[in-house]
């Protein structure tokens, strides 16, 4: 069964090649067909593998399948995939969710021109292949290959509507932010490779004990930072809200369920490494918890449904990261799987709901969806309930409880952190139910015809069912992934169960009296003076620099190529970051730094230096010309002085 693993990403890769590289003109039906089928096949290939793992310990040990070996005389790198709990759980989740989302996308994107549709499916399939590579990889090379591929696809898909500068700016922001994290990850992986002598994960992890602790901390920190960047945790969290500029299926697949969870998958795979350096683990856990709280608060005051779901994703991933930091990767893995299910469900239903609101993604526009489009509304409600973690009946509760239980029983700081986690759970329930209540309230009755057909209902129904039923599998999942289900005192369990209900109550309160929410939002956005300050400063500073550069005129230094200095990053980026003071500060600081450094380099100063050196010869020549007066007397003087000089020279050489 393990031999099937390398073939799992192959259909998606073939789909990409067919759609992107074959120069024939393909009709719309064929494009959609290829795109969807290539995304569904990996799930089908993954099924036998899953079945062989259910019941029995076949997959616990982790068999590794070599794909190719790279021999560069000094070292051998084996590209390999592993069949172990992480890859099975991750693989089936990714494959299944992708299948669902792309089936939906076949209907959702049906109004796009054929060329754009083809591009969309090509990138989505390439993304799927890359993501499967990340999840199934047993060695660092394949993992990083997939990692960067999904980063690039994310850029191309966010910037899918290439005519909108906002999408381009959002895509660039995502790519640059994740690249910063990726380069740190690469550094960490390289150091790990040099310290352990192998690129295979099992080999690396086996030798973790033999690396000296200073280096181990550095490696763990670098890798953790890389993972956090891809998963949009603080301080890398600014790119995800603006990444919502892409089409809804992109947000549903990449930026909720799979790509952003790639960081979590990496951390889970390398959890022995993280566990071996407690400092790094503690920082990771705290960052996760901090992100969970901060972004849950930000989600509460959002006015756009997609941005709310983006913040919610960051918050839930914060929970997963917290679990890993607390030493329970199995709980994180379980929550990843469950979260993928309900988050994609939420996005898909939100897409239909906003279509029913004439394309607006504002939460207010969703009013009356309960009567307008009942089925999407109820699937959204199910998803929201699972997100909030309504006790017992939703899958979300089980996985979140597993995470919180892991936090509680993790030692000295367990209880206070658990309490903070519960607060985050309350906030989660509050924001998710708020949207449901808004959508449930009365509003306009008429709606444009929804997309119909199996392509839309099947994914929604399947995901909704799973969002409720898969709760019972959570314990099995955790056991499968090698974790131990924790047992908490009854009080803690009850408090945990009460949290989503408290959130529901809070949501009712906000819905009944919206002014409270607005006041809260205003107080949080009061730090917008921060934003106004930075905007003002940027505008002022940027124009000031432009003016000085024009005055100093570096143009003539460059032969023939006229250079206008231009700041490289778009200002819109700041406007895209809404409701998030830390994010704003980071972005403005980054822009300021970039402008200072890059702008200073723009007229190539070394080139200007060389050219002024060259021109100085001209100046010296002009001065030397003055000696040539053409007059007889001065020439004779020169003659005489030279003669005297020669005489002196001759006299001097006669000394010895």
As beta bridge partners, residue 80 has 66
* Gap between the Cα atoms of 559 and 543, Å rounded: 26
Min dist CB 614 to another protein, Å, is: 8
* Gap between the Cα atoms of 144 and 196, Å rounded: 18
DSSP for 84-113?
Answer: SHHHHHHHHHHHHHHHHHHHHHHHHTTTS-
Whichever of 126 and 460 has its CB closer to another protein, that residue is: 126
Min dist CB 210 to another protein, Å, is: 18
In order of 11, 258, 381, the CA distances from 14 in angstroms are: 5, 20, 37
As beta bridge partners, residue 77 has 70
Min dist CB 633 to another protein, Å, is: 6
* Gap between the Cα atoms of 393 and 120, Å rounded: 37
In order of 81, 136, 139, 254, 474, the CA distances from 266 in angstroms are: 14, 11, 11, 16, 20
Min dist CB 18 to another protein, Å, is: 14
From the list 592, 570, 573, 595, the residue with the least C-alpha distance to 583 is 573
Whichever of 89 and 586 has its CB closer to another protein, that residue is: 586
Whichever of 34 and 184 has its CB closer to another protein, that residue is: 184
Min dist CB 500 to another protein, Å, is: 41
Do the beta carbons of residue 440 and residue 377 sit within 8 Å? Answer: yes
Whichever of 63 and 602 has its CB closer to another protein, that residue is: 602
Whichever of 19 and 504 has its CB closer to another protein, that residue is: 19
Min dist CB 110 to another protein, Å, is: 20
Whichever of 359 and 560 has its CB closer to another protein, that residue is: 560
- Residue showing tokens 């708020």: 434
Whichever of 150 and 438 has its CB closer to another protein, that residue is: 150
Tokens of 441: 């309230």
* Gap between the Cα atoms of 353 and 447, Å rounded: 10
* Gap between the Cα atoms of 303 and 98, Å rounded: 28
Min dist CB 156 to another protein, Å, is: 8
Whichever of 101 and 174 has its CB closer to another protein, that residue is: 174
As beta bridge partners, residue 78 has 69
* Gap between the Cα atoms of 501 and 618, Å rounded: 83
Residue 413, SS3 per DSSP: coil
Whichever of 182 and 304 has its CB closer to another protein, that residue is: 182
Whichever of 33 and 565 has its CB closer to another protein, that residue is: 565
Whichever of 47 and 190 has its CB closer to another protein, that residue is: 190
Rg (Cα) of the chain, in Å, rounded? Answer: 30
Helices (H), 485-556: 490-512, 514-525, 528-552
Min dist CB 94 to another protein, Å, is: 19
Q: How far apart are the two ends of the chain, measured CA to CA in Å?
A: 95
Min dist CB 132 to another protein, Å, is: 15
Do the beta carbons of residue 102 and residue 40 sit within 8 Å? Answer: yes
* Gap between the Cα atoms of 151 and 130, Å rounded: 9
Residues 471, 475, 477, 483: what is their CA dihedral angle, to the nearest 10 degrees? 150
DSSP for 359-403?
Answer: T--BSGGGTTHHHHSHHHHHHHHHHHHHHHT-TTTSHHHHHHHHH
Min dist CB 602 to another protein, Å, is: 3
Whichever of 21 and 449 has its CB closer to another protein, that residue is: 21
In order of 600, 601, 611, 652, the CA distances from 606 in angstroms are: 12, 9, 9, 44
Min dist CB 534 to another protein, Å, is: 20
Min dist CB 365 to another protein, Å, is: 29
Whichever of 490 and 561 has its CB closer to another protein, that residue is: 561
């Amino acid at each position: 069964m393990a031999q099937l693993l390398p073939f799992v990403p192959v259909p998606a890769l073939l789909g990409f090649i067919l759609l992107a590289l074959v120069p024939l003109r393909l009709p719309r039906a064929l494009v959609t067909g290829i795109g969807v089928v290539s995304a569904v096949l990996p799930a089908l290939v993954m099924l036998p593998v899953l079945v062989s793992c259910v019941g029995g310990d076949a997959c616990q040990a982790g068999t590794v399948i070599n794909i190719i070996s790279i021999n560069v005389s000094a070292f051998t790198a084996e590209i390999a995939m592993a069949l172990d709990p992480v890859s099975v759980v991750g693989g089936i989740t990714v494959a299944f969710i992708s299948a669902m989302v792309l089936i939906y996308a076949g209907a959702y994107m049906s109004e796009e021109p054929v060329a754009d549709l083809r591009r969309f499916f090509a990138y989505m399939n390439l993304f799927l292949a890359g993501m499967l590579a990340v999840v199934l990889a047993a060695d660092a090379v394949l993992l990083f290959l997939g990692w960067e591929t999904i980063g690039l696809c994310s850029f191309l898909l966010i910037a899918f509507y290439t005519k909108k500068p906002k999408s381009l700016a959002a895509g660039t922001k995502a790519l640059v932010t994740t690249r910063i994290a990726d380069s740190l990850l690469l550094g960490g992986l390289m150091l790990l490779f040099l310290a352990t002598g192998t690129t295979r994960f099992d080999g690396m992890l086996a030798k973790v004990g033999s690396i000296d602790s200073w280096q181990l901390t550095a490696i763990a920190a670098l890798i953790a930072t890389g993972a956090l960047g891809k998963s949009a945790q603080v301080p890398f969290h600014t790119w995800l809200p603006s990444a919502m500029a892409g089409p809804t299926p992109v947000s549903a697949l990449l930026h909720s369920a799979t790509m952003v969870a790639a960081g979590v998958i990496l951390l889970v795979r390398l959890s022995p490494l993280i566990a071996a350096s407690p400092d790094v683990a503690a920082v990771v856990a705290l960052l996760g918890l901090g992100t969970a709280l901060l972004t849950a608060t930000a989600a509460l005051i959002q006015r756009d449904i997609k941005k709310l779901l983006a913040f919610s994703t960051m918050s839930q991933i914060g929970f997963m990261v917290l679990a890993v930091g607390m030493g329970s990767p199995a709980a994180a893995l379980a929550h990843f799987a469950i979260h993928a299910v309900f988050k994609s469900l939420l996005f898909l239903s939100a897409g239909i709901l906003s279509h029913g609101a004439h394309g607006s993604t504002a939460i207010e526009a969703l009013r009356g969806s309960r009567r307008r489009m009942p089925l999407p509304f109820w699937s959204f409600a199910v998803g929201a309930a699972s997100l909030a973690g309504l006790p017992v009946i939703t899958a979300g509760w089980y996985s979140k409880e597993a995470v919180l239980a892991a936090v509680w029983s993790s030692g000295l700081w367990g209880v206070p952190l658990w309490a903070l986690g519960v607060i985050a759970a309350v906030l989660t329930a509050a924001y998710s139910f708020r949207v449901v209540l808004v959508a449930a309230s009365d509003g306009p009755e008429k709606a444009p015809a929804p997309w119909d057909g199996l392509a839309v209902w099947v994914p929604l129904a399947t995901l909704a069912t799973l969002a409720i039923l898969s709760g019972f599998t959570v314990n099995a999942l955790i056991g499968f992934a090698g974790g131990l289900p924790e047992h908490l005192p009854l009080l803690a369990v009850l408090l945990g169960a009460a949290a989503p209900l408290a959130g529901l109550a809070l949501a009712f309160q906000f819905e009944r009296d919206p002014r409270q929410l607005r006041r809260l939002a205003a107080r949080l956005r009061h730090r917008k003076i921060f934003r106004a300050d930075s905007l003002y400063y940027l505008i002022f500073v940027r124009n000031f620099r432009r003016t000085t550069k024009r005055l100093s005129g570096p143009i003539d230094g460059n032969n023939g190529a006229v250079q206008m200095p231009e700041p490289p990053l778009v200002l819109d980026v700041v406007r895209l970051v809404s409701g998030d003071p830390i994010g704003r500060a980071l972005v403005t600081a980054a822009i300021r730094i970039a402008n200072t450094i890059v702008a200073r380099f723009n007229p190539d100063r070394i080139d200007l230096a060389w050219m002024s050196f060259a021109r100085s010869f001209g100046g010296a020549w002009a001065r030397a010309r003055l000696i040539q007066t053409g007059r007889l007397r001065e020439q004779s003087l020169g003659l005489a002085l030279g003669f005297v000089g020669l005489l002196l020279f001759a006299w001097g050489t006669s000394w010895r």
